[in-house]
A and B are shown apart, each in its own frame.
Chain A
């Protein structure tokens, strides 16, 4: 049994769950196939003519991923699994109103599948079962039922098996996230110890896809600046307490993960995280620069542009936005902007670090960290 998963949208932040879940059901890892990174070629070859509507690029490119899994595999897949992810297991859960996905993220599969069904059933023609479970990953108690319902016939599942597999999925995801956060902490510690700046990326998880985020952060990294992704920022208590403790004591927020001071309508998971990331960036001394990615026609990001920028810039932290990203990499303009960013980061980081440090309590846990004192610069999380 081979299962193909289109590597799109919030699969980027939950893929470990799906791998953990499926392997727990006895599907070997080599039989879990993810589509490749997004590319113009992928869309041209496999997705063209299957789009049903004009919308943001991260959704539009999904047809290419579906097509690649259907037509582009040497060893055919039996199941195309494209979950409708309704909510996410965010670290902000419990501190925000909800952790829903974007309405296009949750409904994307319904939209894209239409392109493969409107004339004839392309899945059936290729001997593939299309499975699209509706799944509230933000509410783990609902997930076994939801996945059992969607997959019981296809994978011949019992309820107990599903419960166990879901648990394994969450464990795998958690382990992965923790590892990534640990890595980020090491980077941040290195920056703190060497009084060096790093750059924080504020973006949706799928901007990690080279075809969607266009690896802009890699160009900055090539200039020697360590890069952190907000999704994997370390959330250890000591660090959070150092960054937010004062404000909690002053009653401005209830916890380090409370974003109600900047974003009262905290329904959307990735949006909440972006706003939280902006708050962290405004406070953490060694983050002297934020780069924000946003895709062409992203409706979720639109209301956040100004608040995010204001949050970051309130502490003098540099802020640069790369908006309207779509299929083509604007290499020329990226190059020019990267040079500008490098210039500013080099020129102002010392001051920014100093100013932000002065606004925080003296004992920084990173400087007290015994762990990770590597002398060579770790570059990316």
Chain B
């Protein structure tokens, strides 16, 4: 998914009132943050994440709850070498959303981010990524 493809998708969702304006803006910021970290222009198989994210943010702003992913799934993603990057990206979303995000939604975002970063094999390892600064470089 490129930035243009993201924009097209988000514009359709916003214009048809499936997502709200704030979710639209924060998702654009989140995409920029991810491509900055991975140092890629085209994030492979990111459609699910970047459709889930704005709908989740819209759901949160409307006060709707969901049950989080299974404990087994969370244990699995936390074992991923890419989990620290996913955590960094989700922390960034929380910081720009400026409101607490429910744990269930955080866990889903961690799941989606870890999957996407794994599919993209960590991108091109930007030196600003947390795993590099934390000394968690890939072999």
Partners in one complex: no
Interface of B with A (CB < 8 Å)? none
